[in-house]
Amino acid sequence: MAVSESQPTLASYLESILSDYADARKHAPFGKEHAIWRRFEELQRIIEHHPVIQQYHNVKVGWSVGQGNWARVPWVALLDRRETTTTQHGVYVVFLFREDMSGVYLTFNQGVTDLRNRHGTREGRAILRRRAEQLQRLLPNNSTTFRTDGHIDLRTESNLGKQYEASTVAYRLYEKGHVPSDEVLFGDLEVLLETYERYMNSELPRAFKEVTTTDSTVQDSAGTTPSAAPDGQFDPVAGMTALWNAIRATGFVFQPWQLAQYVAAIRTKPFVILAGITGTGKSRLPRLVAEFTGGQSELIPVRPDWTDSAEVLGYTDLQGTFRPGALLEVAHTAMDEDDVYRVCVIDEMNLARVEHYFAEVLSRIEDRSPTDDGGYASSPLIQAALAEKDAEWGKVCLPDNLALVGTVNMDESAHGFSRKVLDRAFTLELSEVALDRWEEPATADAGQPIAWPVSAWRPRAIRLSELTGLTPAERQLVQGAVDTLVELNHILAAAQLQVGYRTRDEVALFVLHAEEIRPFFQTADESPVDPLDLALQMKILPRIAGGSGSIQRVLLGLLGWSVSGVAYRREEEARQALEQWEEAGRPDRLAGARYPGMAARTCLMWDRLLTEGFTSYWL
């Protein structure tokens, strides 16, 4: 619906957005060039320049149609700068568009995100409801225009509906095709802005802030509550900088490249295995990253007696009632709170056989497909038919705001990993220990962490064939990764260990995602680390285990290839590289090699094969 150029009114722009936004969200690429974006800019201008609004000098108008993808529920907010500059906290007036664009609400509302991060979803909603009751007393007694029953219906399947039921103080719906005149619209705005001003002049702002501060003293004193990215724009490098500073301030010791490797891997595929010796921070890393990026984490400890998926996904008891498992409940919560990035840590993953209790989950990870909102989701985790009363559990899938991280202590593990598991995960090892770094500045000023939007964790694609908008430089990166894997397959073929299309796509996408945060692919002394080198260690070397002649030929070939680009064929050729590595003190990177990390690890594996007659990637 075109807007009349001769009479640009608030009503006409609201109607045009209600008419055209759904089609843009479904079919058009996100960006400032789209007409919808310009309509929101004009909407902001019309509101800001109206005499009613200009009476309130502290009120700023802002809006959002999403970050990276079109939002399900776009909004236009009026924020009093004395109270808040973001919709994540505080009280404000906001237009909320229904997801199906059947109407738009004008509401007096509260920010949800900060309260939820501090108190959790359930307690956060309870606080919002109590505050809404207090705020409703500020509405004019003779106002019958606005409803205060909390039954706002945004026509969305996301958790926004439940959030706004709790946070909305008052609301009025303008249905599509029946948006009233500007006189009525600005009259309604004036009612809410007068109420907003009464709130600002009352004791409530101070009371609300005192309660929030008291309830979160530890968090706030440490500066760990993430703030929204300025102006709704997220910069990956700025986000990584804030994350790195926040983690360093906790006293945990990681290398910059380890953090970058984890972030790029979890973005590429939502299943990562963190392996290594005990006490290196494997279970803490994903939880710290979640905490300092505005997400949440859950931990599920694995027990040795797990022989099927009952504890993970659930089971039907003798009375016919379905009992959801731990992971199914986490996935259900993630679907309900789809604006929160959630990490589920499967702790001590190989205390039981992963293939026995995790088989269904592994399959669901591989069948993810694009969703209408620009994200990804799997098919339902539960394939068996459930009773009608338990039907909601049969709809639970792996949404794109949920990642799974398994931790493994390979020095004391009970079970190894099959090829099926390794092929479906990124395997990161945290065995590089720097015990002398005990004077890390744990009390350093970390600054303010930045909240990462869920869209920042989404991969650019699941498969290479789905990639769009590649720049020439990005295309060269992808082609380089593919060419490297083609070379490697010639070597791996000796033991039938060639990689397939899945590994090709994941390695190339990892390198592509790593490029966005390339400054962090370096060691503590600022030596560069090649993301492709890391990708090969994660996806190629863990496949190699055994002591057969074919394994020996493959390992010998990989050693030569990683050192100089030419596969070794005789043991004598490997001796010089092995001696160089030994003389250097068996480092984690072999200086001068084509792929220093892979070369050093291959030296370790080759040395083990020579001395023990058996080798594997794991320490």
**Distance of alpha carbon 273 from alpha carbon 424, whole angstroms:** 10
Q: Sort strands 342-347 and 296-301 into parallel, antiparallel or unpaired.
A: parallel
What's the pLDDT score for residue 514?
98
pLDDT at 433: 63
Instruction: Inform me whether the pLDDT recorded for 214 exceeds 50.
Output: no
The residue extents of the domains of the chain are 10-215, 224-459, 461-619
| C-alpha separations of 556 from 420, 496, 603, 611 in Å | 24, 15, 9, 15
Residue 316 φ/ψ, nearest 5 degrees: -100, 125
Average pLDDT, the chain: 89
Residue 447 scores a pLDDT above 70: no
Q: Sort 612 into a burial class: Cβ within 10 Å, 0-12 / 13-18 / 19+.
A: exposed
10-215 folds as BirA Bifunctional Protein; domain 2 (3.30.930)
122 compared with 473, residue with greater pLDDT: 473
What is residue 235's three-state secondary structure? coil
Distance CA 252, CA 62 (A): 38
Find out whether 36 and 42 touch, Cβ atoms under 8 Å.
no
CA 229/CA 566 separation, integer angstroms: 47
Q: What pLDDT is recorded for position 409?
A: 79
pLDDT greater than 60 at residue 441: no
Q: pLDDT tens across 334-343, in order? A: 888 887 899 9
**Among the ranges given (161-165, 199-203, 221-225), the one the predictor scored with the smallest mean pLDDT:** 221-225
Neighbours of 390 (CB within 10 A): 17
**3-35 pLDDT, tens per residue?**
555 568 999 999 999 999 999 988 888 888 899
Distance CA 565, CA 576 (A): 15
State the pLDDT at residue 413.
Answer: 56
Closest to 354 (Cα-Cα) out of 263, 273, 269: 273
Q: Label residue 229 by pLDDT band (50, 70, 90).
A: low
Q: CA end-to-end span of the chain, whole Å? A: 64
- The rounded percent of the chain whose pLDDT value lies above 70 is 89
Give the pLDDT band (50/70/90) at residue 439.
low
Does the pLDDT at position 474 exceed 90? Answer: yes
Residue 125's pLDDT is: 82
Q: pLDDT for 348-391, tens place per residue?
A: 998 999 999 999 999 999 999 888 767 899 999 998 888 888 88
Instruction: Report pLDDT digits (tens) over 380-434.
Output: 999 888 888 888 899 999 999 999 999 987 655 567 788 888 889 999 988 766 6
Q: Name the burial class of residue 22, with classes exposed (0-12), middle (13-18) and buried (19+) by CB atoms within 10 angstroms of its CB.
A: middle
What backbone phi and psi angles, to 5 degrees, belong to 357? -100, -10
pLDDT greater than 50 at residue 215: no
Residue 495 near residue 554 (C-beta atoms within 8 A): yes
User: What pLDDT shows up at residue 577?
Assistant: 94
Q: Where are the alpha helices (DSSP H) in 344-495?
A: 354-357, 359-366, 419-423, 472-492
Q: Which fold has domain 224-459?
A: Rossmann fold (3.40.50)
Evaluate if residue 522 carries a pLDDT over 80.
yes
Structure tokens at 130: 């109590």
Q: What is the pLDDT of residues 128-165, one digit of tens each?
A: 999 999 999 999 987 789 999 988 999 886 666 667 87
The pairing of beta strand 103-110 with beta strand 426-429: unpaired
Question: What span, in angstroms and rounded, lies between the C-alpha atoms of 350 and 572?
Answer: 38
Q: How many CB atoms lie within 10 A of CB 576?
A: 11
Give per-residue pLDDT as tens, 235-268: 999 999 999 999 988 888 889 999 999 999 999 9
- pLDDT greater than 80 at residue 509: yes
Question: What is the distance between the alpha carbons of residues 195 and 138, in angstroms, rounded to a whole number?
Answer: 6
The enclosing H or E element of 405 equals strand 402-409
Answer whether residue 216 shows pLDDT above 50.
Answer: no
Q: How confident is the model at residue 221 (pLDDT cuts 50, 70, 90)?
A: very low
| Range 325-345 average pLDDT | 90
Residue with the two structure tokens 């993630």: 334
The burial of 227, by beta-carbon neighbours within 10 Å (0-12 exposed, 13-18 middle, 19 or more buried), is given as middle
**What is the spatial distance between Cα 447 and Cα 9, in angstroms, rounded to a whole number?**
43
Which range of 218-222, 244-248, 349-353, 536-540 scores highest in mean pLDDT? It is 536-540
| Exposure string for 488-523, b = 16+ CB within 10 A, e = fewer | bbebbebbebebeeebbbbbbbbbbbbebbeebbee
pLDDT at 436: 60
pLDDT of residue 611: 94
pLDDT at 213 over 60: no
Q: In which band, very low, low, confident or very high, does the pLDDT at 448 lie, cut at 50, 70 and 90? A: confident
CA separation, residue 55 to residues 15, 94, 181, 189, 473 (Å): 26, 18, 20, 12, 51
Query: Which band of pLDDT confidence, cut at 50, 70 and 90, is reported for residue 72?
Result: confident
334-372 burial, b at 16+ Cβ within 10 Å, e below that, comes to bbbbbbbbbbbbbbbbbbbbbeebbbbbbebbeebeeee
DSSP per residue, 11-58:
HHHHHHHHHHHHHHHHHSPPSTTSHHHHHHHHHHHHHHTSHHHHT-TT
